[in-house]
Structure 1
Amino acid sequence: MNITRQAVKFDNHGHKIAGILRIPEDAQEKKNAALVCIHPGSSCKEQTAGIYAEKMAEQGYVTLVFDASCQGESEGEPRYAEIPSLRVEDVHCAVDYLSAQSFVDQERIGVLGVCAGGGYAVNSAMSDHRIKAVGTVAGANIGRVQRGSVDILKTMEAAGKQRTAEARGAEPMIVGWIPNNREELEQSGITDIDIVEAVDYYTTPRGKHPGSPNKLLFSSMSDMLSFDAFYMAETLLTQPLQIIVGDKQGAFGSYRDGQELYKHAASEKKDLLVLEGVSHYDLYDQPGPVARAVEQLTKFYGTNL
Structure 2
Amino acid sequence: MSQQAVKIETKNGQGITIAAVINFPAGFDENQSYPTIVVSHPGGGVKEQTAGLYAKKLAEHGFVTIAYDASYQGESTGLPRQLENPYIRTEDVSSVIDYLTTLSYVDNNRIGAMGICAGAGYTANAAINDRRIKAIGTVSAVNIGQMFRNGWENTVKDADAIPYIQAGTDARTADASSDEFQTVPLAPMKEEDAPNEELRQAWEYYHTPRCEHPNAPGFATARSLTQIITYDAYNKAEAFLTQPVLAIAGSNAGSKWMSDDLVERAASSDKKLYVVDGANHMELYDGENYVNEAVSQLAPFFQEKL
What range describes the TM-score normalised by the shorter chain of this pair? over 0.9
Q: What is the alpha-carbon distance in structure 1 between the residues aligned to residue 165 and residue 134 of structure 2?
A: 35
Picking from 164, 169, 176, the partner of 2:173 is: 164
Q: Aligned residue for 1:264?
A: 265
C-alpha deviation, 1:215, in angstroms:
2.5
TM-score by length of 2: 0.93
Q: What is the alpha-carbon distance in structure 2 between the residues aligned to residue 161 and residue 293 of structure 1?
A: 41
Q: Aligned residue for 2:233?
A: 229
Amino acid paired to 1:185: E
SS of the residue 1:92 aligns to: helix
Q: Aligned residue for 2:44?
A: 42
Contact 2:31 2:104 in 1 (8 A): no
Q: What is the alpha-carbon distance in structure 2 between the residues aligned to residue 179 and residue 234 of structure 1?
A: 33
Q: What does residue range 61-100 of structure 1 map to in structure 2 within 5 Å?
A: 61-100=63-102
Q: Aligned residue for 1:20?
A: 21
In structure 2, the CA distance between the partners of 1:222 and 1:285, relative to structure 1 (3 Å rule), is same
Q: Aligned residue for 1:238?
A: 242
C-alpha deviation, 1:226, in angstroms:
1.1
C-alpha deviation, 1:171, in angstroms:
2.4
C-alpha deviation, 1:29, in angstroms:
2.6
Amino acid paired to 1:26: F
Q: Aligned residue for 1:287?
A: 288
* CA offset digits 1:25-45 (Å, max 9, x no partner): 323131100000000000000
- Are 2:198 and 1:200 aligned? no
- Are 2:185 and 1:185 aligned? no
Amino acid paired to 2:67: V
Amino acid paired to 1:4: S
* CA offset digits 1:187-212 (Å, max 9, x no partner): x4x44232111012111111101111
Q: What is the alpha-carbon distance in structure 2 between the residues aligned to residue 191 and residue 15 of structure 1?
A: 36
C-alpha deviation, 1:52, in angstroms:
0.2
Kindly report the root-mean-square deviation, in angstroms, between the aligned alpha carbons of the 2 structures.
Answer: 1.4
Runs of 4+ in 1 over 4 A off after TM superposition: none
Gaps of 5+ in 1: none
Q: What is the alpha-carbon distance in structure 1 between the residues aligned to residue 89 and residue 262 of structure 2?
A: 20
Picking from 8, 11, 30, the partner of 1:10 is: 8
C-alpha deviation, 1:170, in angstroms:
4.9
Q: What is the alpha-carbon distance in structure 2 between the residues aligned to residue 202 and residue 249 of structure 1?
A: 18
Amino acid paired to 2:96: A
C-alpha deviation, 1:77, in angstroms:
1.6
Q: What is the alpha-carbon distance in structure 2 between the residues aligned to residue 64 and residue 217 of structure 1?
A: 26
Q: What is the alpha-carbon distance in structure 1 between the residues aligned to residue 205 and residue 129 of structure 2?
A: 32
C-alpha deviation, 1:11, in angstroms:
1.6
Q: What is the alpha-carbon distance in structure 2 between the residues aligned to residue 198 and residue 169 of structure 1?
A: 30
Amino acid paired to 1:168: S
Q: What is the alpha-carbon distance in structure 2 between the residues aligned to residue 40 and residue 92 of structure 1?
A: 17
Q: What is the alpha-carbon distance in structure 2 between the residues aligned to residue 86 and residue 34 of structure 1?
A: 22
In structure 2, the CA distance between the partners of 1:170 and 1:152, relative to structure 1 (3 Å rule), is farther
Picking from 149, 153, 157, the partner of 2:162 is: 153
Gaps of 5+ in 2: none
SS of the residue 1:27 aligns to: coil
Q: What is the alpha-carbon distance in structure 2 between the residues aligned to residue 156 and residue 9 of structure 1?
A: 34
SS of the residue 1:108 aligns to: strand
Q: Percent identity?
A: 41
Q: What is the alpha-carbon distance in structure 2 between the residues aligned to residue 96 and residue 27 of structure 1?
A: 21
